[in-house]
Amino acid sequence: MAVPRRLPIGTEVAATERGAHARVWAPGHAKVTLVIDAPRREIVLGREPGGYHSGFAPGLGAGDRYAFRLGDDRALYADPASRYQPDGPLGPSQVVDPAAFAWTDGAWAGIAPDRHVMYEMHLGTFTPEGTWSAAAAWLDYLADVGITTLEIMPVADFVGRRNWGYDGVNLFAPSRVYGTPDDMRRFVDRAHAVGLAVILDVVYNHFGPAGNQLFAWSPAYRAAQASEWGDSYNYDGDDSAPVREYAIANAGYWIDEFHLDGLRLDATQAIRDRSPEHVIAAIARRARDAGRGRPIFVVGENEPQDSALLEPPCELDALWNDDFHHTARVALTGVVDGYLHDYRGTPQELVSAVKRGFLYQGQLYPWQRKPRGRPVRGVARNRFVAFLENHDQVANLGFGERLVAVSDPATLRALTALLLLTPPLPLLFQGQECGATAPWRFFTDHDGALRDAIRRGRAEFMAQFARMATPACQSALADPNAEATFSACVLDPRRRRLDDRHVALHRDLLRLRRTDPAFTDARPEALDGAVLSEHAFALRYFQDDAMGDRLLLVNLGPSFARPAVPEPLVAPPERAGWRLAWSSEDPRYGGHGTAQPFDRARLAIPARAAIVVVPDRGAALPDEPPPHERDRPGQP
């Protein structure tokens, strides 16, 4: 008799009788035994077609621990779909009843796809405690700043006590390092209460290098071709259907049982699949189905910038735009090295990244000696995610310094305005909003040969940057496995003050973004841009009523002053002038003040600044005869 289940495999508390039902996929094993911890007892599961084994365990309930024996092997293995591993990936699994949690978010309607302002968070370093409960205490603060969506770095359980999360090996088990599954639910419930969506970074492109037991259940989990990070999932080879089912079910699981609002798919270029329906399309569909009518946001990372992922059948909601980051990083630091080789940080690059998304849409990318990207014609601007920092880019470009420590403060304020006042969806990396200076470095917690291999691999990766390839820099790189490397990354909560100048900058800009529709208008005709000089550019936001137009002026060089600017984008609406509405040089942000940028004689933009001007009838210039007619005889 078929047993109603939430997931195709795993151990689930029965809805109608006291006990739990277990189902696993082990096609190469004639016998699978469920081993219950206390009181100790064993139940041989029955065999099903297709390599599945299942059975009912009377009395097994929430909080009980269990494992499996495969064949006559005396070793015990965790449940491949374990919902919790209290002692880590190599310990026993624990039964979890997801229906027991008392949710209070029934009125939560989610966030519209074009309204996301994302905040990437690593649970272990966001607070000194490194737990769901400690992070929840800051949700009101993040909502007050103007964040709408938390993007949580991967939480699938991993070996050791510290990890970025991309080494997860128990895809269904939130890591015990951060708390219990109900702690995670409590965090999401509280986030919804203060108006924040929560999406989760998930890794379906490779297995973690330690603690993975899936190959003992079946070697069919492993694809014939590995990824650059290790073994990858078999989505299209022999016996791949249950492997596909495993990943697809996981996507729906996070939305269903944790009320998440979406997923961020890591390194989609490494999810290889030649099936009639790509597994990415199936993952996105299952996630959205699990939302039961709520808007579920599925965003992808794709290093080659393949815009086809935004189209059917995958139809992701958005893609990360590394090109925006790379050109902005060069503008901020002047460093053109490694994978920043083909960017110059010019006004034209920045305007093009805002207007057109990817800078490389099929042309030659010299750093990789091949074409990069695909055309994005017709793709709305708000289907790109823009950022100045994220977990990869901070750690990959030096010793993990934050931009606030390696760039000019005024230029950083100006480009923060560009990030937050343009239609692409902005993403902030934790601490960015408060000027956090704690470094962000790669860290893991592995032993033996793997520990040494990770350290060598990190040094080899950094050697692509000429300045980092020197013996002095190589020896100065932090050991990824050292606890001190992790500890240095933990943020200081005392910096999170609403009166802090960095917080004020982000809070004011996000208020402008939220309250003025011009800045997020994604219609093709609603935004245009022009280069004004070697360092300055303008973005004009067009609205149906010209008095709703906005003009963002950005200057990344010395003070800009021109008596005349032959560029129609800076012309005010008819019978109006421009009035200064916002400036990155406001003293509240650490700036030095801004005079009215438009007057009868000139357009002026402070050095290394961004300003917003709005139409003003009272600022219109008076009608005057042209200069060559002013002194003509007979003129009054």
- What are residue 538's phi and psi, to 5 degrees? -130, 145
Q: Per DSSP, what are the bridge partners of residue 24?
A: 53
Answer for the pair 538, 552: CB distance below 8 angstroms, yes or no: yes
Rounded to the nearest 10 degrees, the angle between the axes of helix 501-515 and helix 409-420 is 20
Is 574 considered catalytic here? no
3-state secondary structure of 77: strand
Q: Which long-range contacts (CB under 8 A, 24 or more apart) does 288-291 make?
A: 289/252, 290/251, 290/252, 290/253, 290/255, 290/256, 291/110, 291/255, 291/261
Closest by Cα among 483, 476, 410 to 443? 483
Tell me how far apart the alpha carbons of residues 329 and 469 are, in angstroms, rounded to a whole number. 20
Tell me how far apart the alpha carbons of residues 531 and 19 are, in angstroms, rounded to a whole number. 69
Tell me how far apart the alpha carbons of residues 189 and 180 are, in angstroms, rounded to a whole number. 14
Cβ-based neighbour number of residue 593 at 10 Å: 9
Rounded to the nearest 10 degrees, the angle between the axes of helix 347-356 and helix 409-420 is 20
Closest by Cα among 430, 431, 442, 436 to 486? 442
Tell me how far apart the alpha carbons of residues 200 and 155 are, in angstroms, rounded to a whole number. 8
Pairing of strands 536-541, 527-531: antiparallel
Is 266 considered catalytic here? yes
Of 151, 189, 261, 266, the active-site residue reads 266
What lies within 8 Å, CB to CB, of 494 at 6+ separation is: none
Secondary structure letter of residue 410 according to DSSP:
H
Cβ-based neighbour number of residue 582 at 10 Å: 20
Tell me how far apart the alpha carbons of residues 484 and 175 are, in angstroms, rounded to a whole number. 21
Of 151, 257, 301, 322, the active-site residue reads 301
Residue 101 host element (H or E): none
Answer for the pair 560, 533: CB distance below 8 angstroms, yes or no: yes
Question: Which residues are catalytically annotated?
Answer: 266, 301
